[in-house]
């Protein structure tokens, strides 16, 4: 399950406010780039950056913010954001006839993940922040990262001793 914060094609960076549970505008992107896919997070996960695990959802239609979408992972973008590890899961809605023929990111047309990589390499340039896309990995790696983030969430917030 994915929670969408930002609609595909938007320059507005929304984030779920942890205190109110409502989306708030974090900023408008400084560059002329727009989000290449709907963007959000996977609920009940905790990534290494202390936030829920980020997700890009590939869909033929923009998905409205504050929407829950049942998705499956096909890959992950491994990047550095201001020198810190940052992973972005790439997922596809189960009920998406255009994209649900793909099971792994390696099956996508090259241009789709070139657009995603380019976005994450330049979207903070005019803010004088550095981002670097290190690599794109397939479905198996994405599944392991999601499980690790679920385990970290349970350990942190539920006291599991795993």
Name the residue among 20, 24, 102 with its Cα closest to residue 58.
Answer: 102
Instruction: Give the C-alpha separation, 77 to 55, whole Å.
Output: 10
- Was 27 annotated as part of a binding site? yes
Q: Considering all CA atoms of the chain, what is the largest pairwise distance in Å, rounded to the nearest integer? A: 46
- Was 48 annotated as part of a binding site? no
- Was 54 annotated as part of a binding site? yes
DSSP type of residue 116 = H
- Was 49 annotated as part of a binding site? yes
- Was 153 annotated as part of a binding site? no
- Was 39 annotated as part of a binding site? yes
- Was 123 annotated as part of a binding site? yes
- Burial label, 48 (beta-carbon count in 10 A; 0-12, 13-18, 19+): middle
Going by DSSP bridges, is the β-strand pair 71-81/53-57 parallel, antiparallel, or unpaired? unpaired
Could you list the residues known to form a binding site, using ranges: 13, 27, 39, 49, 54, 86, 123
Could you list the residues known to form a binding site for Mg(2+), using ranges: 49, 54, 86
Could you list the residues known to form a binding site for substrate, using ranges: 13, 27, 39, 123
């Amino acid at each position: 399950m994915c929670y969408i914060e930002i609609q595909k094609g938007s320059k507005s960076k929304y984030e779920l406010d942890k205190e109110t549970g409502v989306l708030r505008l974090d900023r408008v992107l400084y560059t002329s780039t727009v989000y290449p896919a709907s963007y959000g997070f996977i609920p009940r996960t905790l990534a290494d950056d202390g936030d829920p695990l980020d997700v890009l959802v590939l869909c033929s239609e923009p998905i409205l913010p504050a929407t829950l979408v049942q998705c499956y992972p096909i890959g992950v973008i491994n990047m550095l954001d201001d020198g810190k590890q940052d992973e972005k899961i790439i997922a596809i809605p189960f009920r998406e006839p255009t994209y649900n023929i793909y099971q792994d990111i390696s099956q996508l047309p090259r241009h789709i993940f070139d657009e995603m990589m380019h976005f994450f390499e330049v979207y903070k340039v005019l803010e004088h922040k550095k981002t670097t896309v290190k690599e794109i990995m397939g479905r198996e790696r994405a599944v392991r990262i999601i499980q690790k983030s679920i385990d970290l969430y349970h350990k942190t917030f539920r006291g599991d001793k795993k």
